[in-house]
Chain A
Amino acid sequence: MSTIAPVDTRRLLTAEPADSLPVLSLEALLALAEESGLTGRGGAGFPTAIKLRAVAEGGTAPVVVGNAMEGEPLSRKDAVLLTRAPHLVVEGLALVGRALRARETVLAIGPEINPAAAEAAARVGRVRVARLEGGFVAGQESALVNQLDGRPAVPRDPLVRITTKGVDGRPTLVLNAETLAQLALAARHGAAWFRLAGTEEDPGTSLFSISGAVERSGVVEAARGSRLRDVLAAAVPVDPVAVLVGGYHGAWLPASQLDTRLTARELRPWGAAVGAGVLYVLGRDLCPIRAAAAIATYLADESAAQCGPCVNGLPRMADALQRLADRVPDPGLPHEIDRMRLLVVGRGACAHPDGTARMVASTMRVFEDHVTRHLAGHCEIEGARR
Chain B
Amino acid sequence: MSRLHVDWTRCDGHGACAELVPELLASDEWGFPVSRTGERDPEVPAYLAEHAEHAVRSCPLMALSRV
Do the two chains touch directly in the complex (Cβ atoms below 8 Å apart)?
A: yes
- Residues of chain A touching chain B, judged by Cβ–Cβ distance below 8 Å, are 154-157, 159, 306-310, 312, 343, 346-349
With a CB–CB cut-off of 8 A, which chain A residues contact B35? 346
Asked if B20 lies at the interface with its beta carbon under 8 angstroms from chain A, I say no
Across the interface, which residues of A come within 8 angstroms of B30, CB to CB? 308-309, 312
Decide: A309 near B9, CB < 8 A? Known: A159-B65, A159-B67, A346-B40. Answer: no
Q: Please determine whether B28 and A157 come into contact, CB atoms closer than 8 angstroms.
A: no
Inter-chain contact A349/B9, CB cutoff 8 Å? yes
What is the size, in residues, of chain B's interface with A at 8 Å between Cβ atoms? 18
Whether A307 contacts B11 by the Cβ 8 Å rule is: yes
Chain A: minimal CB distance from B55 (Å): 17
A residues less than 8 Å from B28 (CB atoms): 309, 343
Q: Are A306 and B8 in contact (CB under 8 A)?
A: yes
The docked-state distance in angstroms from the alpha carbon of A145 to that of B28 is 31
Question: Knowing A159-B65, A159-B67, A346-B40 touch, does A308 contact B34 (C-beta < 8 A)?
Answer: no
Candidates B6, B9, B13, B67; contact of A154 at CB < 8 Å: B9
In contact, B67 and A157 (Cβ under 8 angstroms): no
Whole-angstrom distance between the Cβ of A308 and the nearest chain B Cβ: 4
The DSSP consensus for interface residues of chain A is loop
Known: A308-B30, A309-B28. A157 touches B7 (CB 8 A): yes
CA distance A346 to B41 in the complex (A): 9
| Interface of B (DSSP majority class) | loop
Q: Evaluate contact between B8 and A347: CB separation under 8 angstroms.
A: yes
- CB within 8 Å of A: which B15-41 residues: 28, 30-32, 34-35, 40
A155 and B34 alpha carbons, distance in the complex (Å): 20
Number of A-B residue pairs, CB cutoff 8 Å, is 43
Q: Is B12 an interface residue (CB 8 A)?
A: yes
Partner of B12, one of A154, A159, A308: A308
Chain B proximity of A106: nearest CB distance (Å): 23
User: Does B5 sit within 8 A of A, measured CB to CB?
Assistant: yes
Contacts known (A156-B9, A157-B7, A159-B7); A309 close to B32, Cβ less than 8 A: yes
Q: Are A306 and B9 in contact (CB under 8 A)?
A: yes
A347→B5 contact, CB < 8 A: no
Q: Which single residue of chain A is at the shortest CB-CB distance from B65?
A: A159
Complex Cα distance, B67 from A352, in Å, reads 23
Pairs A–B under 8 Å by Cβ, sample size 20: A156-B9, A157-B8, A157-B9, A159-B5, A159-B65, A307-B11, A308-B8, A308-B11, A308-B12, A308-B13, A308-B30, A312-B30, A312-B32, A343-B34, A346-B35, A346-B40, A347-B34, A348-B8, A349-B7, A349-B9
Do B40 and A307 have beta carbons less than 8 Å apart? no
Most B CB within 10 A of own CB, among A156, A306, A309, A310: A309
Closest A-B pairs by Cβ, 9 of them: A307-B8, A308-B32, A157-B7, A349-B8, A346-B40, A312-B30, A306-B9, A349-B9, A348-B8
> What distance in Å separates the Cβ of A295 from its nearest Cβ neighbour in chain B?
23
* With A159-B65, A346-B40 as contacts: A307 and B31 at CB distance below 8 Å: no
Q: Which residues of A contact B40 (CB under 8 A)?
A: 346-347
Q: Complex: how many Å from CA A3 to CA B28? A: 60
B10: chain A residues at CB < 8 Å are 157
In whole angstroms, what is the CA distance A349 to B11 when docked?
Answer: 10
Chain B residues lying within 8 Å of A347, measured Cβ to Cβ, are 6, 8, 32, 34, 40
Cβ-defined partner of B31 (8 Å) among A159, A306, A308, A343: A308
| Residues in B whose Cβ lies below 8 Å from that of A308 | 8, 11-13, 30-32
